[in-house]
């Protein structure tokens, strides 16, 4: 069953209305017209089922209502994500960088079922905020990670929140990739999540390789998917950015890329 939203009509909407009523969320008339009553009932059901309360009957909501299977096709706008549309989001980036790095990013998003429009925009805007070049990079020395008289990244060495255990952990587990994975804890956690065992902890530089950097980006965003979508539902880009970065670093680039992407990605 295709995604259903306010303004739709037909047999699929009638099935949705019947399923909502059977769950105790009365949409009003079972008339096959997706209006305000159906939307309100749907949001009520989504809140009850701990789903994103966006009033849209997408795959996860339909599955929870028994109207879809978990193996049904996930919404996928990635076939519409091409160099031309992405270049609008990255106006200062060489096209060759996008040609080399966009395919592994798209593949990683597809593997993690992050191929719907909000999460694709989130991923690309995150890349713009972290690395304008659209290439996975390592974190540079700054006053935020290195003290005036200290060795590189000494301010990270004893960051218990990052799982670091003292020198040389600060420099060894500095930010890398598209999402700037930082800290011993995150290298261990996401290395395990990607089936790498301890390999990423033993060789952190792997996080800067394009294929692995793309998989790390997708895995990190997947962990935050629900929270990110709630922020995007309220058009709160600052909160969405904070969920990834922990602050507002790169917010201007993130916001500019996201707004550009709203006009260029997945509309055709």
Residues with Cβ within 8 Å of 19's Cβ and at least 6 positions away in sequence, in order, are: 65, 66, 67
Whole-Å CA distances, 244 to 62, 176, 206, 255: 28, 14, 20, 13
Measured between alpha carbons, how far is 84 from 87 in angstroms, rounded to an integer? 5
Per-residue pLDDT band at 266 (split at 50, 70, 90): confident
Is pLDDT above 90 for 248?
no
Is pLDDT above 70 for 71?
no
Residue 84 main-chain phi, psi, to 5 deg: -60, -45
The pLDDT assigned to 73 comes to 63
- Indicate the length of the chain as a whole number: 268
Q: Please check whether the domain covering 138-208 is classified as CATH 3.30.20.
A: yes
> Percentage of the chain surpassing pLDDT 90?
89
Mean model confidence pLDDT for the chain? 93
Measured between alpha carbons, how far is 146 from 216 in angstroms, rounded to an integer? 25
Both tokens of 247, joined, read: 């602050």
Q: Where are the domains of the chain?
A: 11-64, 78-136+215-264, 138-208
Mean pLDDT to the nearest integer, 178-199: 96
The pLDDT assigned to 72 comes to 60
First to last CA, the chain: 21
**What is the model's pTM?**
0.82
Mean pLDDT to the nearest integer, 24-40: 95
Is pLDDT above 60 for 268?
no
Helix (H) or strand (E) holding 177: strand 176-177
From the number of C-beta atoms within 10 Å of its C-beta (0-12, 13-18, 19+), residue 45 rates as: buried
Mean pLDDT to the nearest integer, 172-186: 96
The pLDDT assigned to 112 comes to 95
Measured between alpha carbons, how far is 259 from 268 in angstroms, rounded to an integer? 17
The pLDDT assigned to 60 comes to 87
Long-range pairs for 202-207: beta carbons < 8 A, 24 or more residues apart: 204/172, 204/173, 204/176, 205/176, 207/136, 207/176, 207/177, 207/181
Is pLDDT above 90 for 70?
no
83-119 residue pLDDT tens: 999 999 999 999 999 999 999 999 999 999 999 999 9
The pLDDT assigned to 228 comes to 96
Q: Specify the residue for token string 């919404």.
A: 75
Mean pLDDT to the nearest integer, 146-164: 97
CB 41 within 8 A of CB 4: no
The full 3-state SS of 46-75, as one line of letters, equals HHHCCCCCCCCECHHHHHHCCCCCCCCCCC
Both tokens of 133, joined, read: 């070049």
Other beta carbons within 10 Å of 92: 8
Residue 47 main-chain phi, psi, to 5 deg: -65, -40
Whole-Å CA distances, 241 to 108, 111, 142, 162: 20, 22, 20, 19
């Amino acid at each position: 069953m295709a995604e259903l939203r306010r303004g739709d009509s037909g047999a699929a909407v009638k099935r949705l209305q019947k399923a909502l009523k059977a769950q105790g969320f009365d949409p009003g008339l079972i008339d096959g017209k997706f209006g305000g009553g159906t939307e309100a009932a749907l949001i009520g059901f989504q809140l009850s089922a701990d789903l994103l309360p966006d009033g849209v009957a997408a795959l996860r909501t339909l599955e929870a209502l028994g109207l879809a299977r978990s193996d049904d096709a996930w919404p996928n706008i990635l076939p519409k994500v091409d160099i031309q549309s992405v270049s609008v989001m990255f106006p200062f980036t060489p096209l060759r960088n996008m040609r080399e790095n966009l395919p592994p990013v798209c593949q990683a998003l597809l593997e993690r079922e992050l191929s719907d429009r909000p999460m694709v925009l989130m991923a690309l805007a995150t890349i713009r905020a972290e690395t304008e070049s659209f290439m996975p990079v390592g974190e540079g020395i700054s006053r935020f990670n290195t003290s005036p008289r200290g060795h590189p990244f000494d301010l990270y060495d004893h960051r218990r929140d990052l799982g670091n255990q003292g020198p040389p952990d600060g420099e060894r587990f500095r930010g890398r990739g598209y999402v700037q994975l930082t800290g011993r804890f995150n290298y261990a956690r996401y290395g395990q999540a990607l089936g790498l065992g301890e390999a990423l902890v033993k060789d952190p530089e792997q996080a800067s390789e394009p294929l692995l950097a793309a998989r790390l980006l997708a895995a990190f965003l997947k962990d935050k998917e629900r929270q990110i979508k709630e922020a995007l539902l309220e058009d709160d880009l600052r909160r969405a950015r904070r969920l990834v970065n922990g602050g507002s670093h790169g917010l201007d680039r993130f916001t500019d890329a996201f707004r550009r992407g709203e006009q260029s990605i997945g509309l055709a």
